[in-house]
Amino acid sequence: MEYDFGMVGLGVMGRNLLLNIADHGFSVVGLDLDPVKAAALEAEAESGKPIKGTTSIQEFVDSLQKPRALMLLVPAGKAVDAAITNLLPYLEPGDIVIDGGNSYFPDTNRRILELQEKNLHFFGMGISGGEKGARYGPSMMPGGDRQAYERLRPVFEAVAAKVDGEPCVSYLGNGSAGNYVKMVHNGIEYGIMQLIAETYDLLKRGVGNSHEEIQHMFEEWNGSEVQSFLVEITGQILKKTDDVTGQPLVNLISDRARQKGTGKWTSQNAMDLQVPLPTVDIAVTMRDMSAYKEERVLAAQSLAIKPTSSEANAEWHELENKLRNAFYFAMLVTYAQGLVQLRVASDTYQYELELQEVAKIWRGGCIIRAACLEDIRKAFAVNPALPNLLLDPIIGQELLNRQEDMRTIVKLAIERGIPVPAMMTALAYFDAYRSETLPTNLIQAQRDYFGAHTYERIDQPGIFHTDWD
């Protein structure tokens, strides 16, 4: 039998996505050098569905319908190159190779060129939604070889998450566009997760709310304008108790946060492009800070402070409303920063991204899906050349309506000595972006003073240097 689609790597994501494809009427074959994983694929398949698992590269490739279509879902980096190298002797011109992992976009550009030389189609496709999304409907971000994508578009549109009947997958652009969009998606994810963690910490340590009150608040928030997957799962996480102790499980989890690098890549590339991305930057930094546990334990004792006293706490309902407004404000600003990066990257790398399409496929299936993404999609539908979401009249007004509550919450955190750097940087970004003048004129003067770096004037054209002594 010849199969429609092949998968290399039968871990949780690869296996679930392949089962999803089979559920939609396509015959599939999976390859994994681990015989346990290959057998697990067939064991999970519903009876009667054409699904095969194998450990043989030869058998895998020979069983695919020509031109062959196969996806790699293996760890980013050397594992992807190794998988391609192992497959190459068996592939033929016209075959299609898809990298579905979180590959760093320069690696994708290199692989496109390498496989083009062998007359093989290659494209990178970011996939978001975790194991459940892969099984029942992810958001997928393909870019690169458009001809190859069109060959597989019916498969991906069938298995993707749906919002208002529209599949959360779309061809995004040239070269490494798909992997780049997924990278920025993950950067935004870092930022929103940090905002949620700060909200939780401010309520728990700063205000003294009970665990049950905080859990109930996140559960209620998911029915408001801040509705999102990350808010939803936070309510579920806080509800979970430990089977042994009966305590909230989250209280027993170490606060040393780990990361796989996509947030760091987002920040690093934003700096290369000279795009301000402060909320994502600080989210990466705070994960780094969490690793210094032993030092933080010592500093908690030697640098202990008495929180600044303030007026009596507002009623809980009033405080919760202000906090929700502040969180929504910061979440919108985080999306805005990431979308500016995508716009600048598209111009720089000739991706030809349409930000309306990006927002559309992020509305369902992916980790950063949220109700506000429909408003974001509409903003770019009305003005595809919109330089920054803050300039959209509707979203700009949403921010103005909430900025006072944002300032109140940041002041409360400062008074109580609770770190909320992501909230602070979101507010600072807003204030900097709406500042007609910034104090960087002084920085230019300093640079010229110590390094003769020159400066421009506002009253006449040209480049100037001053002997400041």
Residues tagged active-site: 182, 189
Residues forming a β-bridge with 228:
370
Q: Percentage helix, strand, coil, to 5, in the chain?
A: 60, 10, 30
Give dist(CA 286, CA 289) in Å, integer: 5
Sign, CA dihedral 354-359-362-363, equals negative
Query: Distances from the Cα of 424 to the Cαs of 184, 368, 453, in angstroms?
Result: 21, 21, 32
Give dist(CA 81, CA 456) in Å, integer: 48
Give dist(CA 150, CA 152) in Å, integer: 5
- The helix/strand count (H/E) of the chain reads as 19, 9
DSSP for 161-210 reads: -EETTEESB----STTHHHHHHHHHHHHHHHHHHHHHHHHHIIIIII---
DSSP for 96-139 reads: EEEE-S---HHHHHHHHHHHHTTT-EEEEEEEESHHHHHHH--E
Which pairing describes strands 96-99 and 69-72: parallel, antiparallel, or unpaired?
parallel
DSSP tag of 249? G
Is residue 351 within 8 Å of 178, Cβ to Cβ?
no
Q: How many CB atoms lie within 10 A of CB 282?
A: 23
Q: Give backbone dihedrals phi and psi of 350, rounded to 5 degrees, phi first.
A: 55, 45
Is residue 463 within 8 Å of 454, Cβ to Cβ?
yes
Give dist(CA 358, CA 184) in Å, integer: 11
Residues forming a β-bridge with 99:
72, 124
- The stretches of 274-420 forming alpha helices (DSSP H) are 278-290, 293-302, 316-349, 355-361, 372-382, 393-416
* Annotated binding-site residue numbers for substrate: 102, 128-130, 185-186, 190, 260, 287, 447, 453
Which of 398, 391, 286, 389 shows the shortest CA–CA distance to 341? 389
